[in-house]
Structure 1
């Protein structure tokens, strides 16, 4: 049947023509991202460090992506409410999550989650790393870590430390400090750092291991007194504040990192676009100045490097949770 080869040839030519038409259409579809407004989910209340960074990025992304970008605060459950909403969102890149190691690396080892933070959230890039700082109210009688530890040892269980929630890095910092110093304190969780600050300043809670991004404003306003930075070196924004190691406490350094995630299954082209825009935003002078003022360091990462960091931090904090005996009270 001589017509069969002809038909096959025509089919091949037709398929080739369709592919030629489809290729630019697919490219156009990819380049059209985003084709609707974008929201950045934040697992903490307004005014905290995560919220500050999210709004900073939202302003830059709105210009770069040519779409409205809004910040949606969903505080509670150690940042996991916002994370779950992102994990369950449409995987079209319209829902982003500005997460911290609280929700990504600590809380999963303490709380029963309805999503998998490693499988249901796609890493985009690292935003910033902030050291945690031990703060007390300005009216506190304690001027140093040594004085605070001595008082805690004299009255076991009489001191309270605040956190932005169960499983937060503030919670980890408090437990690591107690383990390292042989002291005991009562954990008082809040729905965000800004709410915790109210009670610390008012004297209802004695101390907190907060991120510099959240605490810096109150420190500069003279409402919180920093006793030590929980990092290997002093932060340039608090040059006169010693590290915990300099204060005689080792093994209690805990930082807070902030990273951008998107719903798993989001097209690779959209994820790569977001990583590019994030990297470019972090290179802007005003963004760098703002993050530096919060005591943070910027280390842009490609997608693969940040994904590996996210996984290794999940494992590292899992061990820390087990070592400190932390529980979801």
Structure 2
């Protein structure tokens, strides 16, 4: 009898330990309205991708998905908001390479990207394309570099903020080509593109989705893409690596994360649901149309990518002696 009571007590204790995770797994979605926080202004690539994914997610789960744009500080405002915000699992972050892997090397943050944010899945991973205003009469990357060498400090480039993928893409080319183009930060792709089209800035390491209509119209000239292989949508445009700078690679990516205080069972379920969305043919087709191929994966895959990119960009920042004023 005594042994039976001990076994019953042990079973009850085990159930008590499992209860929070079990309850969390059952309470999904956590709320009928889920928010996806985006660190850049509406109209840019991050916003566009989040809306495509969010729409399908809402349809699959029968919930309302709200896109909350919180631009500024290269995306860090949005990242801090989620890192320090609600932990009920109803707030997701569409995080980006800059705040997660670059900003920790450049500035004091009000959060720790590794400790305060939990990875869910990679969303999209794609190269940027270096575009220039057609009025510059520059048509190739070689001409761009030649102009920069002959006019040091006079050729500038836009980015989506200090420490963003577009910022570091320019710094990497500056380093490898031994040129000095001037960095001009913006709060997102849309305002950067507005100033480029107006001729207030000369060039921009843009996402293809933001630049595409202006490339088609002839207002912008694509010089090179920043990834390891050519953009499928621009097969005639070479990569920077194949244009005389082997080893150059600066991809842009957006991934889903949440507060690290969210229960693991909820994070695992979000991975399941988001991977399902990213693998759906209609979502993949829409994202690919904008030059942003989906890259769903495990939570561990994303954690490893963040660790690898943090090391890569830390090296570039040290070599370039980059500081944020």
TM-score by length of 1: 0.91
1:305 aligns with 2:305: no
Point out the more displaced range, 263-272 or 9-18: 9-18
Work out the number of aligned pairs and report it.
324
Q: Which residue of 2 aligns with 1:264?
A: 260
Q: Distance in 2 between matches of 1:180 and 1:133?
A: 17
SS of the residue 1:71 aligns to: strand
Seen in structure 2, the aligned counterparts of structure 1 residues 76 and 14 have a Cα distance that, compared at 3 Å, is: same
Which deviations, in whole Å up to 9, do the C-alpha atoms of 1:258-310 show, x marking residues without a partner? 11001102111111111111111111111111221222333321111211111
Q: Which residue of 1 aligns with 2:72?
A: 76
Q: Which residue of 2 aligns with 1:184?
A: 180
Q: Distance in 1 between matches of 2:240 and 2:195?
A: 24
- How far is 1:140 from its partner? 2.5
Structure 1 residue corresponding to 2:249, chosen from 249, 253, 271: 253
Q: Distance in 2 between matches of 1:20 and 1:264?
A: 24
1:153 aligns with 2:149: yes
- How far is 1:214 from its partner? 3.2
Q: Which residue of 2 aligns with 1:39?
A: 35
Q: Which entry has the higher C-alpha Rg, 1 or 2?
A: 1
- Retained in 1: the 8 A contact 2:21–2:265? no
- Retained in 2: the 8 A contact 1:97–1:261? yes
SS of the residue 1:261 aligns to: strand
Q: Give unmatched runs, 5+ long, in structure 2.
A: none
Q: Distance in 1 between matches of 2:255 and 2:21?
A: 29
- How far is 1:64 from its partner? 2.6
Which deviations, in whole Å up to 9, do the C-alpha atoms of 1:24-50 show, x marking residues without a partner? 896455222223121111000001111
Query: Aligned runs of 1:239-250 on 2, under 5 Å?
Result: 239-250=235-246
Q: Give unmatched runs, 5+ long, in structure 1.
A: none
Q: Distance in 2 between matches of 1:197 and 1:260?
A: 25
Q: Distance in 1 between matches of 2:86 and 2:129?
A: 37
Structure 1 residue corresponding to 2:171, chosen from 160, 171, 175: 175
Aligned-residue RMSD, C-alpha: 2.3
Seen in structure 2, the aligned counterparts of structure 1 residues 160 and 288 have a Cα distance that, compared at 3 Å, is: same
